[in-house]
Amino acid sequence: MKLTEKAFFAHHDRDVLAALRQATVGVAGAGGLGSTVALSLARAGVGRLIIVDFDTVEPSNLNRQQYTTDQVGRPKALALRDNLMAAQPFSRYDAGVERITPNNIERCFGDADLLIEAFDRAEEKAMLIEAWCSLHPDLPIIGASGIAGWGSNESLATRRYGNLWLCGDFESELEEGIAPMAPRVGIVANMQANLAIELLVTSYRNRNNA
């Protein structure tokens, strides 16, 4: 049987789906956070995802990132695009294999309605947040801070600072013995994705009721 877009989204609320189908979301980083956020947003129906990551899939990524063993060695952004197409083929997925800097953020993500910060290193997170908030003080950016380890679901939360939202436990720095693991990284990634849907749908409803 031929897979159709209508059948894929048969159980989605119509105005929620309409809001997401016309949305463009940027995903900066395609590691444990970014690959998981992207898959969730694709399945939810976001119409266009822009994924940028300079890195390639390594064996040690497979414990938590949405790649398969045969994708080791491939650029993450391209491997993720393939996985997104396989999961939900009705959206547009743009993959960029490059390192994000303050100088190319606008070229990479200028079309995005919302940006997901999904970097690993705190320095890169700060760089992206500073640059995005300066370029687009009215567009949302959703980051993550504190995702390592396991357990303590109750410590995970979302904090808002104007157009910046952060998800995580705000305390678990990566260090020896506290590795990132699939469940906790996945929860935080899906908190980011869930919030992205909320912001996109709310913005759509406000525009259409205005």
Partner 1 sequence: MITVNTESFPWEEGLTITRLIKRKRFTFRMLVVKIDGAVVKKPAWPETKIPDGADVQVIHLMSGG
Instruction: State the residues that interact with partner 1 by CB under 8 A.
Output: 29, 31-34, 118-123, 125-126, 129-130, 133-134, 137, 143-148, 161-162, 164, 166, 168, 170-174, 180, 185
Q: Which is nearer to partner 1, 47 or 146 (CB)?
A: 146
- Token pair in block for residue 108: 């990479």
Q: What 3-state DSSP class applies to 43?
A: helix
In angstroms, what is the minimal distance from the CB of 121 to partner 1? 5
* Residue type present at position 21: R
* Residue type present at position 196: A
Give the DSSP letter of residue 108.
H
In angstroms, what is the minimal distance from the CB of 86 to partner 1? 23
Q: Which is nearer to partner 1, 101 or 134 (CB)?
A: 134
Q: Which residue is associated with the tokens 């009705």?
A: 90
- Token pair in block for residue 194: 């869930």
Burial of 10 (0-12, 13-18, 19+ CB in 10 A): exposed
Q: Which is nearer to partner 1, 19 or 37 (CB)?
A: 37
Of residues 136, 134, 142, 139, the one with CA closest to residue 28: 142
Distance separating alpha carbons of residues 139 and 129, to the nearest angstrom: 12
Q: Which is nearer to partner 1, 144 or 201 (CB)?
A: 144
In angstroms, what is the minimal distance from the CB of 204 to partner 1? 23
In angstroms, what is the minimal distance from the CB of 129 to partner 1? 5
In angstroms, what is the minimal distance from the CB of 30 to partner 1? 10
Task: Output the furthest CA–CA distance in the chain (Å, rounded).
Answer: 52
Q: Which is nearer to partner 1, 145 or 194 (CB)?
A: 145
